[in-house]
């Protein structure tokens, strides 16, 4: 909080921890993958669906942990050192990192390698990354918008 003008700045932390933010961000991609799998797998046999979901959750958790360790956390620490640790920059960077990571992991294994498949991988990864960035900000308990404190001196009509 800035003592001079009573403003609460966007991006100001309210007691969140980095470890909690990392766990939140790491859980989002596997949960998104499960949701997408359940939406598209209505005709699968239950045993095959459960086995595939377990494998997908495990792989996505490992991949998201590696991506967070290699790119996500260093990016956040870089933002913090530059004084730019706010939800906008975190989410933009997370979307970019997620898009590139998902593309690198999935595109080589796709059966059809065309422009549409590449864009689909980039967009899905960007969505996973954006949701992870939002979860990371929630774990850090960052303020999303600047807000004015309601005090007696700042209420309308008082001089």
Q: For each of the chain's 159 residues, which pLDDT tens digit applies?
A: 444 433 434 445 566 688 999 999 999 999 988 888 888 777 888 888 888 889 989 998 999 999 999 999 999 999 999 999 999 999 999 999 999 999 998 888 877 778 888 898 899 999 999 999 999 999 998 877 766 555 545 445 544
Chain-centroid distance of CA 113 in Å reads 27
- CA dist., res. 10 & res. 20, Å (int): 20
Which of 89, 96, 151 has its CA nearest to residue 127?
96
∠ CA(49), CA(131), CA(77), 5° rounding?
125
* SS3 category, 132: helix
Which of 40, 30, 18 has its CA nearest to residue 60?
30
What is Dmax (Cα atoms) for the chain? 71
Q: How far is CA 146 from CA 3, 81, 128, in A?
A: 14, 21, 26
pLDDT tens readout for residues 74-107:
999 999 999 999 999 999 999 999 999 999 988 8
∠ CA(100), CA(101), CA(104), 5° rounding?
85
- CA dist., res. 159 & res. 90, Å (int): 39
pTM of the model: 0.76
Q: Which helix (H) or strand (E) holds 8?
A: strand 7-8
Q: How many CB atoms lie within 10 A of CB 136?
A: 29
């Amino acid at each position: 909080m800035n003592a001079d003008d009573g403003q609460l700045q966007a991006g100001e932390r309210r007691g969140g921890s980095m470890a909690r933010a990392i766990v939140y961000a790491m859980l989002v991609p596997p949960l998104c993958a499960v949701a997408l799998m359940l939406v598209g797998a209505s005709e699968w046999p239950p045993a095959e669906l459960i086995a595939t979901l377990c494998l997908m959750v495990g792989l996505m958790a490992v991949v998201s942990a590696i991506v967070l360790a290699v790119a996500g956390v260093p990016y956040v620490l870089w933002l913090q050192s530059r004084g730019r640790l706010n939800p906008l920059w975190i989410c933009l960077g997370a979307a970019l990192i997620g898009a590139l990571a998902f593309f690198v992991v999935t595109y080589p294994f796709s059966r059809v390698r065309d422009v549409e498949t590449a864009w689909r991988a980039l967009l899905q990864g960007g969505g996973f990354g954006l949701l992870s960035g939002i979860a990371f900000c929630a774990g850090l308990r960052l303020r999303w918008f600047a807000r004015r404190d309601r005090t007696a001196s700042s209420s309308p009509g008082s001089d």
